[in-house]
Structure 1
Amino acid sequence: MPQSDDERLVDLAARVEHEDPCFVHPLPEGPPARPRGYRRTGAWCALVLGVTMLAAGIVVPDGLLIAAGLVLAGIAVQLLDPNRDEHPVK
């Protein structure tokens, strides 16, 4: 006997709430939060900080500051990749 649509919807809602509770809790209050996979605020902040460090290292000739800015900017760009979970690690 196939499941009713109501049972499948309740099962789906429970699974979504278990996987990403921050997405589900604001639903009664308005639009939901962005799913966890699309939250990239920290990556944008790291990119801004990295580019700022790079620019400061160029203005004040400091190799360590330039290197740190390049590394931080590289990490942030990697975090901004929307398909980073799909790329196989070699």
Structure 2
Amino acid sequence: MPQSDDQRLVDLAARIEQDDPHFARSLSSGRPAKPREYRYTRAWWVLGIGVVLLFIGLVMPHGLLIATGLVLSGIGVQLFDPYPPRRGSRYRNSAR
């Protein structure tokens, strides 16, 4: 017996509320906000701090600062991916 469209919409709303409550509340208030996948504030901060540490490590030849700057820059760039791979799957686009 197929589900009604109303039940599907209720299920979808419940999943959105569970996944990103801020986005769901903003939709119900009539002032939509960006979903979590498109909020990059934390990624910009991590990337900026990493680049600053990398630059300081290059100006003052200090290997630990260079390594820290490279690691933080890599983490910051990784945070820009809106759809990170799910745990448990080996490939991002695996066909099932």
TM interval, shorter chain, is 0.7 to 0.9
In structure 2, C-alpha distance between the alignment counterparts of 1:75 and 1:20, rounded to whole Å: 22
Listed one character per residue, the Cα deviations across residues 24-68 of structure 1 (whole Å, up to 9, x for unaligned) are 11122412x222233332121111110011111111222221111
Q: Is the 8 A contact 2:40 2:80 kept in 1?
A: yes
Does residue 19 (structure 1) correspond to residue 19 (structure 2)? The answer is yes
SS at structure 2 position matched to 1:25: helix
TM-score computed with the length of structure 1 as normaliser: 0.74
Please state if 1:69 is matched with 2:69.
yes
Which of 60, 81, 90 pairs up with 1:88? 90
What aligned pairs does 1:31-70 form with structure 2 within 5 A after superposition?
31=32, 33-70=33-70
Taking the aligned partners of 2:38 and 2:26, their CA distance within structure 1 comes to: 17
**Structure 1 counterpart of 2:31:** 30
TM-score under structure 2 length normalisation? 0.71
Identical residues among aligned pairs (%)? 58
* Structure 1 residue 83: Cα displacement: 4.0
- Code of the aligned partner of 2:31: G
Gaps of 5+ in 1: none
Structure 1 CA distance for aligned equivalents of residues 11 and 74 of structure 2:
40
